[in-house]
Chains A and B, each alone.
Chain A
């Protein structure tokens, strides 16, 4: 699913965020990326979401070389990728259901399908009773479940999560991780960046440890 060959990302003044990274993530796999702050976890996720281009090396997702994608190809690629962020990135002025149906709406899905699909995923994360609430009326855990529902609404092949439990207490964190495991069980490849070692231990999946942009351990 994901293949990197000698992948590097260099920022200004020659600062390497990732250096010579060679990694393979199989289809349907659940992988943790961990390491201290500045290790390069988020940079790798940004490259995978094609928010940035690699400086050196190659990055393939599902056979597509992300470095060479044109603008419309990037748009198409992103429609197959779900994402979850630590700060949820929900739209405060839209209701829960609108936050989810917003995604199919802006990629041109017919209105009836938008709402049906949004309600399905909302039900799946168990928050259908909050469909008319606004994000700021919800708890952190609920907001992250909405973000997960939004990430799933397009049936992504790949789900990227950047510190998805960073703002949550341990119980809620485990709840979110269980949701991600369920998604993965459905065949979606899941890549989670986290520095929460305890959570990784509890979930028990392949873990890639980064430090100063390099892979230092695969366990």
Chain B
């Protein structure tokens, strides 16, 4: 505890003494954390949206025009007994036509020239999110597609998979960039801390000669890196918050529309804490690398 206390006091004093050069290290950490934080902000919001879409998964079973009421009953029974659905709704041919005319009013005139209603009757099924995730919904869709009276089953999850895959690519690229920037920031911290180490070489020599433990010799340099990292990360969080506030106040409605009506949210406290801890870890690593020259 005394070693920790000594390390923190000396680390802070050293940071203050070399505040000019320390600013470079703090800014480097802040830049790395801003990239990482922005990446987290985007991916976290898109992930929330994907989760929302996944939990609202539905599929439609289109019935043949000549499907009998017994066949429809068998289909509905298959759906109800599958245990993977959260509900179903029968949409008759007439309902489908009405819905089309309501939702696509500008195209309603296209439906007037037909002698018969061209829209098929269907059963719309809401899928339980766990059944969507573990593939049981897919299995039900396959069974329904083969059932008598069924014209087609539409359960297009590919676009969700494509977005998830695109998100994974963005996340990987962003992580690679953030990692590179974190390494550069760690090297900057190590260089700055090492400059302070040379300034304190008299003290270090005495410490070695009087038998000071390694925790007392190296601790202050690790603490200095930790403080630089922490300050950089807090600065990054503050800048991210400020930018988020400005963006939301200017383009909030557009973004919310883009996100399917859901609000674009700032990072939750847990992720912000991880971000600050990450900055401190990078700073500590830089401080540790420098401290190896201390004794």
Per-residue A-contact encoding for B214-226, CB less than 8 Å = 1, 0 else: 1011000000000
Given the contacts A75-B211, A154-B210, A106 and B216 also touching, CB distance less than 8 Å = yes
What's the least CB distance linking B257 to chain A, in Å? 61
Q: Are B2 and A79 in contact (CB under 8 A)?
A: no
Q: Which residue of B lies closest to A104 (CB)?
A: B210
What's the least CB distance linking B80 to chain A, in Å? 73
* Interface footprint category on B: 10 to 19
B49-57, B71-79, B198-206, B243-251 - the one binding chain A: B198-206
In the bound assembly, the distance between CA atoms of A91 and B201 in angstroms comes to: 10
**Chain B residue contacts of A76, Cβ below 8 A:** 211
**Chain A residue contacts of B266, Cβ below 8 A:** none
What's the least CB distance linking B65 to chain A, in Å? 88
**Chain B residue contacts of A108, Cβ below 8 A:** 2-3, 213, 216
Given the contacts A89-B205, A106-B216, A77 and B211 also touching, CB distance less than 8 Å = yes
In the bound assembly, the distance between CA atoms of A75 and B207 in angstroms comes to: 10
**Chain B residue contacts of A77, Cβ below 8 A:** 211
Q: Are A78 and B211 in contact (CB under 8 A)?
A: yes
**Chain B residue contacts of A154, Cβ below 8 A:** 210
In the bound assembly, the distance between CA atoms of A103 and B202 in angstroms comes to: 13
Binding site of B, secondary structure by majority: helix, strand, loop or mixed? helix
Chain A CB within 8 A of B110 CB = no
Q: Which residue of A lies closest to B17 (CB)?
A: A93
What's the least CB distance linking A90 to chain B, in Å? 8
Interface size on A, residues (CB 8 A): 23
Q: Which residue of B lies closest to A76 (CB)?
A: B211
What's the least CB distance linking B215 to chain A, in Å? 9
Chain A CB within 8 A of B209 CB = yes
Chain B CB within 8 A of A107 CB = yes
Q: Are A91 and B211 in contact (CB under 8 A)?
A: no
Q: Are B206 and A102 in contact (CB under 8 A)?
A: yes
Chain A CB within 8 A of B6 CB = yes
Chain A CB within 8 A of B212 CB = yes
**Chain A residue contacts of B203, Cβ below 8 A:** 91, 102
In the bound assembly, the distance between CA atoms of A72 and B205 in angstroms comes to: 16
In the bound assembly, the distance between CA atoms of A103 and B205 in angstroms comes to: 12
Interface residues of B (CB under 8 A from A): 2-3, 6, 202-203, 205-207, 209-214, 216-217
